[in-house]
Structure 1
Amino acid sequence: MKAAGILKSAFTGEGAWARVLGAGMLVATVAAQHPHPAFDRSRAKDVFSLIPNWKFFAPNPAVHDFHYAYRTLEPGGATSEWHEIEMIEPRRLRQAFWFATRRPEKAVFDICTAILQLAAKGGAAAAQTNSAYQVLVEFIRRTIRERHGEDAVRGFQFAVVRAAGHDTAEEPEPLFLSPYTPMKRPPVGGHLVTA
């Protein structure tokens, strides 16, 4: 049988619609894996998410870590030294199979990314009105409460610092500095503590 005959029989006769649909899905799946944005058109029109995305790596992988530091304002008015919140735990072999404890680290990383994008567009004041900022404030507030107790601290200020992880040749870079925030949540319409 000639090649033209094989091709014709593949798209005609009994079960042809299934073969055509299968071939179309195969082509769309392979095309959707290409990193160029033009190939994402088929997935954009896929309202039922039938075309799988097997891109195992991010197109722009993170090469830096965010570090979070805070300093507290004591009831007497003194400001403490900066304290780091250690989010990145040392990696273990078992974490290659199950790493559920990484979820908070990833969540805070994503929240911080959202805050930094808002701050880049509209300044620090715009970022402070966003819910992602409020979630980060509550995370830091809870950490301070666990470490120092609520009555020992009047307010706090936090910083987000970008570092290259294990690459010590690159200096850490401060990216965001919050205003002083009261330890007790202000009432609705309340204002931040300033110092």
Structure 2
Amino acid sequence: MRMDPYAYACAAALAAWLLLSAAAQLGPLLPRLKQWHQRYDPLGFVPRYHFFAPRPGTYDYHLLVRTGPDGTPSFGPWRELAPPRRRRWWHVLWNPDRRQRKQLFDLTMRLCRADARCEDPATPLSIPYLLLLGHAGGAVGDDGQVQFMIARSAGYRRGEPPQAVFVSRPHRLGTG
């Protein structure tokens, strides 16, 4: 049985992709390879996996919101948006919540580095703040006011209590 030229071309392309993918995992060891990957693969066709980090994440981050009637200083209790689901064995291969957790982590790190106490007048105008406010406001509705908080928990280590790492200013919702 003979393969046609298209099958050879497809096999060659897949083999090249496999070799590039394997080489991309060496990026932290080979700085030139990392530079090549960043320059020539802006769409991310060649995957890079980060199984081990220099400082692995040891905390879980949670986005909490509370709402209250417009024009009053009172708020209801804090509630978590999208509480984490229980981990399953197949999350090793397919984990749909990974990107949301990573986004929350990245936004939290940017907010905490810039202004962890939310005292700077520019903080509510920053991209991370506005993204989190938009998500919090969209999840609770259109009336009243909203405030969000990012809390950090120790994950599976139960001895350490959760703590707030960022608390937003109150914001009025809706156009009314």
Compute the TM-score of the two structures, normalised by the length of structure 2.
0.67
| Aligned equivalent of 1:180 | 170
| Aligned equivalent of 1:143 | 139
**2:113 is the counterpart of 1:117:** yes
C-alpha distance in 2, partners of 1:181/1:144? 12
Report the CA distance between 1:104 and its aligned residue: 2.2
Q: 1:93 to 1:45 in 2, by over 3 A?
A: closer
Structure number with higher relative contact order (C-alpha < 8 Å, ≥ 6 residues apart): 2
C-alpha distance in 1, partners of 2:102/2:25? 29
Q: 1:31 to 1:68 in 2, by over 3 A?
A: closer
| Aligned equivalent of 2:75 | 79
C-alpha distance in 1, partners of 2:150/2:158? 18
Please, which runs of 5 or more residues in structure 2 have no aligned partner? 1-22, 42-46
Q: CA RMSD in A?
A: 3.3
Contact 1:116 1:176 in 2 (8 A): yes
Contact 1:119 1:126 in 2 (8 A): no
Q: 1:33-52 alignment to 2 at 5 Å?
A: 33-34=28-29, 40=31, 42-43=32-33, 46=36, 47-48=39-40
| Aligned equivalent of 1:95 | 91
Please, which runs of 5 or more residues in structure 1 have no aligned partner? 1-27, 187-195
Aligned-partner SS, 2:137: helix
Q: 1:29 to 1:69 in 2, by over 3 A?
A: closer
**2:157 is the counterpart of 1:171:** no
C-alpha distance in 2, partners of 1:121/1:98? 36
| Aligned equivalent of 2:128 | 132
| Aligned equivalent of 1:14 | none
Match of 1:68 among 63, 67, 84: 63
Matched residue count: 148
| Aligned equivalent of 2:152 | 162
C-alpha distance in 2, partners of 1:45/1:86? 37
Q: 1:89 to 1:31 in 2, by over 3 A?
A: closer
Compute the TM-score of the two structures, normalised by the length of structure 1.
0.61
